[in-house]
């Protein structure tokens, strides 16, 4: 391919951003950055420290003090490390999912995570996914996409993922959690969830992850070649 660009992928919970971004990065030979994992890691630390999710001062302190790092394992999967420990599985528990939107809306937490994310994207050649990548983190990204799907479809996907991982949760619980996270993410005062003005919106209801990847890859190829 030609020159390297930054690709921003945003969207609500359960839209398939992580899967699509990872596959896209592999296809293009880019670096994959899961910003949601960073907020989840901070949330995990707050839960372990038994911090009240309304205590913005202590949540900010945790965000400023934790050491976060991404590493690629021998199978090519990206792992996230919190203070030197691999927490890639722990951050995907239902308890972390229920609380991550409460943590990510804290201004001090977002400021710290945004600084780290911009550093990761400084060299280009990054596929970065989250809630505010195209609007706040990498507003100058050459390619921006906003993935969405019906709330029922997103809940179905997330429920299947959790069941596969061994968590005993009902579809109704996941649907309620997804709807609650949508409400929090879309109405927070700082960096609310919304498409960037120059983002291409892709409704992936009924689409496979590979179909979405191929759609985005074709757009990127047409832009840089």
For residue 204, which of 134, 142, 157 has the smallest C-alpha distance?
Answer: 157
For residue 9, which of 158, 221, 222, 212 has the smallest C-alpha distance?
Answer: 212
What pLDDT digit, counting tens, does each position of 177-190 carry? 999 999 999 998 88
At 147, list the tokens: 């993935």
Residue with tokens 């997804």: 178
- Give the pLDDT mean for 24-50: 94
Check pLDDT > 50 for residue 204.
yes
Check pLDDT > 70 for residue 11.
yes
Does 101 fall in a domain? yes
Name the 3-class secondary structure at 147.
Answer: strand
CA distance 75 to 65: 30
The boundaries of the domain holding residue 45 are 7-205
Q: CATH code at 13?
A: 3.40.50.300
Does 196 fall in a domain? yes
CA distance 185 to 195: 12
Contacts by 50-57, CB closer than 8 A, 24 or more apart: 53/99, 53/102, 53/103, 54/102, 56/106, 56/107, 56/108, 57/108
Let me know: does 144 contact 200? Beta carbons within 8 Å: yes
Does 89 fall in a domain? yes
- The alpha-carbon radius of gyration of the chain (Å, integer) is 17
Does 2 fall in a domain? no
Annotated binding site for ATP: 11-19
User: The whole model's pTM is what?
Assistant: 0.84
Per-residue burial over 135-168, b = 16 or more CB atoms within 10 Å of its CB, e = otherwise: bbbbeebbbbbbbbbeeebbbbbbbeebeeeeee
Check pLDDT > 90 for residue 64.
yes
Annotated binding site: 11-19
> So what's the pLDDT on residue 1?
45
Does 38 fall in a domain? yes
* DSSP-assigned beta bridge partners for residue 133: none
Let me know: does 130 contact 35? Beta carbons within 8 Å: yes
At 123, list the tokens: 């060299």
- Helices 56-65/35-48 angle, 10° precision: 120
CA distance 107 to 172: 31
Does 153 fall in a domain? yes
Let me know: does 145 contact 133? Beta carbons within 8 Å: no
Does 125 fall in a domain? yes
CA distance 10 to 135: 9
Name the 3-class secondary structure at 68.
Answer: strand
Number of domains in the chain: 1
- Give the pLDDT mean for 50-55: 97
Does 129 fall in a domain? yes
What pLDDT digit, counting tens, does each position of 95-136 carry? 999 999 999 999 999 999 999 999 989 988 999 999 999 999
């Amino acid at each position: 391919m030609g020159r390297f660009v930054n690709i921003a992928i945003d969207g609500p919970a359960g839209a398939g951003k992580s899967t699509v971004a990872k596959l896209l990065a592999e296809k293009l030979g880019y670096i994959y950055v899961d910003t949601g994992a960073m907020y989840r890691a901070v949330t995990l630390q707050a839960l372990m420290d038994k911090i009240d999710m309304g205590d913005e001062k202590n949540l900010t302190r945790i965000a400023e003090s934790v050491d976060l790092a991404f590493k690629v394992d021998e199978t090519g999967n990206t792992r996230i490390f919190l203070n030197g420990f691999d927490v890639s599985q722990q951050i995907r528990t239902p308890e972390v999912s229920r609380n991550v939107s409460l943590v990510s809306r804290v201004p001090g937490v977002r400021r710290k995570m945004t600084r780290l994310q911009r550093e990761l994207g400084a060299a280009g050649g990054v596929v970065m996914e989250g809630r505010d990548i195209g609007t706040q983190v990498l507003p100058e990204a050459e390619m921006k996409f906003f993935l969405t799907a019906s709330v029922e479809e997103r809940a179905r996907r997330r429920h299947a993922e959790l069941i596969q991982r061994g968590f005993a949760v009902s579809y109704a619980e996941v649907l309620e959690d997804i709807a609650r996270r949508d409400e929090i993410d879309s109405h927070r005062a700082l960096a609310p969830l919304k498409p960037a003005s120059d983002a291409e919106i892709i409704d992936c209801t009924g689409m496979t992850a590979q179909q979405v990847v191929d759609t985005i890859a074709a757009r990127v190829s047409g832009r840089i070649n």
